[in-house]
Structure 1
Amino acid sequence: MIKYIFFVLYLISFTCFGQATLKDPDYIKANYNKFEYQIPMRDGKKLFTAVYVPKDQSLKYPVMLQRTCYSVSPYGPDQYKTALGPSSQFLHDGYIFVYQDVRGRWMSEGIYEEMTPELEKHDTNKAVDEGTDTYDTIDWLLKNVAGNNGKVGVWGISYPGFYTTTALLSRHPALVAASPQAPIADLYRDDAFHNGAFMLVANFGFYPGFTNRQDGQPTQRRGKEFEPGTEDGYDFFLKMGPVKNTNVKYYKDTIRLWNEMLDHPDYDQHWKERNVLTHLHDIKTAVLVTGGWYDAEDLYGAIHTYQTLQKENPATPVYFAMGPWVHGGWARGNGDHLGDIGFGGATAPVYRENIEFKFFSHYLKGTKLDLPKISAFETGRNQWRNYQTWPPKEAEEKQLYLLPGHRLSFNQPNGSANTYDEYVSDPANPVPFLAGKSMDMDREYMTADQRFLSGRKDVLSYQTDVLDQDITLAGNIRADLKVATTGTDADWVVKVLDVYPDTAANDQWTGKGVQMAGYQQMVRSEAMRGKFRNSFEKPEPFVPGKVTPVNFELQDVLHTFKKGHRIMVQLQSTWFPLIDRNPQTFTDIMKAGEHDFKKATHRVYTSKSHSSYLKVRVM
Structure 2
Amino acid sequence: MKKQLLFAFSLLLLVSVTFAQPGGINPDAAYVKEQYTKYEYQVPMRDGKKLFTSVYVPKDQSKKYPFMMDRTCYSVAPYGTDKYKGSLGPSPSFLHDGYIFVYQDVRGRWMSEGIYEEMTPEKEVHKTNNDVDEGTDTYDTIDWLLKNVPNNNGKVGVWGISYPGFYTTTALLSRHPALVAASPQAPIADLWRDDGWHNGAFFLVANFGFYPGFTNRQDDKPTQRRGGRFDPGTNDGYDFFMKMGPMKNTNDKYYKDPIRLWNEMMDHPNYDQHWKDRNVLSHLHDIKTAVLVTGGWYDAEDLYGAINTYKTLVKENANTPIYFTMGPWVHGGWARGAGDHLGDVDFGGPTGPHYRDDIEFKFFSHYLKGTDMNIAKVNAFETGVNKWNEYKSWPPKEVEDRQLYLLPGGKLSFAAPAAGKDSYDEYVSDPNNPVPFLNHKSMDMDREYMTADQRFLADRKDVLSYTTDVLANDVTIAGNIWANLKVSTTGTDADFVVKILDVYPDTASNNKFTGKDVKMAGYQQMVRSEPMRGKYRNSIEKPEPFTPGKVTPVNWELQDVLHTFKKGHKIMVQVQSTWFPLIDRNPQTFVDIMKCDSTAFKKATQRIYTSKTNPSFLKVRVVQ
User: What TM-score, normalized to structure 2?
Assistant: 0.98
Structure 2 residue corresponding to 1:370, chosen from 374, 392, 401: 374
Matching residue's letter, 2:60: D
Distance 1:554 1:17, change over 3 A: farther
Structure 2 residue corresponding to 1:288, chosen from 289, 292, 295: 292
Residue 304 of structure 1 is matched in structure 2 by 308
8 Å contact from structure 2 (residues 73, 164) kept in 1? yes
1:13: Cα distance to partner?
Answer: 2.6
Structure 2 residue corresponding to 1:440, chosen from 435, 440, 444: 444
1:14: Cα distance to partner?
Answer: 4.6
8 Å contact from structure 1 (residues 18, 332) kept in 2? no
Structure 2 residue corresponding to 1:389, chosen from 393, 396, 400: 393
Matching residue's letter, 1:504: A
1:119: Cα distance to partner?
Answer: 0.1
Instruction: Provide the rounded CA distance (Å) in 1 between the counterparts of 2:19 and 2:71.
Output: 20
Instruction: Provide the rounded CA distance (Å) in 2 between the counterparts of 1:439 and 1:561.
Output: 32
Is 1:265 matched up with 2:291? no
Is 1:114 matched up with 2:118? yes
Is 1:274 matched up with 2:278? yes
Matching residue's letter, 1:330: W
Structure 2 residue corresponding to 1:148, chosen from 143, 146, 152: 152
Instruction: Provide the rounded CA distance (Å) in 1 between the counterparts of 2:16 and 2:178.
Output: 27
Is 1:519 matched up with 2:523? yes
1:18: Cα distance to partner?
Answer: 4.5
1:156: Cα distance to partner?
Answer: 0.1
Residue 46 of structure 1 is matched in structure 2 by 50
Matching residue's letter, 1:593: D
Instruction: Provide the rounded CA distance (Å) in 2 between the counterparts of 1:97 and 1:493.
Output: 44
Instruction: Provide the rounded CA distance (Å) in 1 between the counterparts of 2:542 and 2:447.
Output: 32
Residue 12 of structure 1 is matched in structure 2 by 11
Structure 1 residue corresponding to 2:415, chosen from 401, 411, 421: 411
Residue 453 of structure 1 is matched in structure 2 by 457
Is 1:604 matched up with 2:605? no
1:103: Cα distance to partner?
Answer: 0.1
Matching residue's letter, 1:182: A
Q: How many residues align?
A: 618
**Per-residue Cα deviation, 1:261-298 (whole angstroms, up to 9, x for no partner):** 00000000000000000000000000000000000000
Q: Secondary structure at the match of 2:5?
A: helix
Residue 228 of structure 1 is matched in structure 2 by 232
8 Å contact from structure 2 (residues 5, 209) kept in 1? no
Residue 330 of structure 1 is matched in structure 2 by 334
Instruction: Provide the rounded CA distance (Å) in 2 between the counterparts of 1:89 and 1:183.
Output: 23
Stretches (4+) displaced over 3 A: 14-21
1:507: Cα distance to partner?
Answer: 1.2
8 Å contact from structure 1 (residues 493, 571) kept in 2? yes
Structure 2 residue corresponding to 1:467, chosen from 466, 471, 480: 471
Is 1:134 matched up with 2:132? no
1:138: Cα distance to partner?
Answer: 0.2
Matching residue's letter, 2:348: G
Q: Secondary structure at the match of 2:213?
A: helix
Residue 64 of structure 1 is matched in structure 2 by 68
Residue 323 of structure 2 is matched in structure 1 by 319
The answer for unaligned runs of 5 or more in structure 2 is 21-25
Instruction: Provide the rounded CA distance (Å) in 2 between the counterparts of 1:72 and 1:339.
Output: 31
Matching residue's letter, 1:582: N
Note the 1:53-92 alignment, pairs <5 A. Answer: 53-92=57-96
User: What TM-score, normalized to structure 1?
Assistant: 0.99
Residue 422 of structure 1 is matched in structure 2 by 426
Q: Secondary structure at the match of 1:571?
A: strand
8 Å contact from structure 2 (residues 405, 417) kept in 1? yes
1:123: Cα distance to partner?
Answer: 1.4
Instruction: Provide the rounded CA distance (Å) in 1 between the counterparts of 2:588 and 2:486.
Output: 17
Is 1:340 matched up with 2:344? yes
**Per-residue Cα deviation, 1:143-197 (whole angstroms, up to 9, x for no partner):** 0001110000000000000000000000000000000000000000000100000
Matching residue's letter, 2:4: I
**Per-residue Cα deviation, 1:533-588 (whole angstroms, up to 9, x for no partner):** 00000000000000000000000000000000000000000000000000000010
Instruction: Provide the rounded CA distance (Å) in 2 between the counterparts of 1:91 and 1:18.
Output: 15
Instruction: Provide the rounded CA distance (Å) in 1 between the counterparts of 2:410 and 2:399.
Output: 27
8 Å contact from structure 1 (residues 155, 180) kept in 2? yes
Instruction: Provide the rounded CA distance (Å) in 2 between the counterparts of 1:141 and 1:91.
Output: 19
Instruction: Provide the rounded CA distance (Å) in 2 between the counterparts of 1:123 and 1:601.
Output: 55
Residue 211 of structure 1 is matched in structure 2 by 215
Instruction: Provide the rounded CA distance (Å) in 2 between the counterparts of 1:353 and 1:310.
Output: 24
Matching residue's letter, 2:547: V
The answer for unaligned runs of 5 or more in structure 1 is none
8 Å contact from structure 1 (residues 90, 357) kept in 2? yes
Instruction: Provide the rounded CA distance (Å) in 1 between the counterparts of 2:289 and 2:225.
Output: 36
Matching residue's letter, 2:410: H
8 Å contact from structure 2 (residues 300, 331) kept in 1? yes
Instruction: Provide the rounded CA distance (Å) in 1 between the counterparts of 2:287 and 2:241.
Output: 44
Instruction: Provide the rounded CA distance (Å) in 2 between the counterparts of 1:337 and 1:17.
Output: 23
8 Å contact from structure 2 (residues 16, 29) kept in 1? no
Instruction: Provide the rounded CA distance (Å) in 1 between the counterparts of 2:440 and 2:513.
Output: 18
Matching residue's letter, 1:189: R
8 Å contact from structure 1 (residues 105, 218) kept in 2? yes
**Per-residue Cα deviation, 1:77-136 (whole angstroms, up to 9, x for no partner):** 100000100000000000000000000000000000000000000111221000000000
Residue 571 of structure 1 is matched in structure 2 by 575
Residue 532 of structure 1 is matched in structure 2 by 536
Q: Secondary structure at the match of 2:529?
A: strand
8 Å contact from structure 1 (residues 15, 86) kept in 2? no
Instruction: Provide the rounded CA distance (Å) in 2 between the counterparts of 1:615 and 1:178.
Output: 34
Instruction: Provide the rounded CA distance (Å) in 1 between the counterparts of 2:386 and 2:224.
Output: 44
1:8: Cα distance to partner?
Answer: 1.7
8 Å contact from structure 2 (residues 206, 445) kept in 1? yes
8 Å contact from structure 1 (residues 401, 411) kept in 2? yes
Instruction: Provide the rounded CA distance (Å) in 2 between the counterparts of 1:125 and 1:44.
Output: 9
8 Å contact from structure 1 (residues 17, 332) kept in 2? no
Q: Secondary structure at the match of 1:589?
A: coil
8 Å contact from structure 1 (residues 493, 527) kept in 2? yes
1:16: Cα distance to partner?
Answer: 4.2
8 Å contact from structure 1 (residues 34, 78) kept in 2? yes
Q: Secondary structure at the match of 1:150?
A: strand
Q: Secondary structure at the match of 1:51?
A: strand
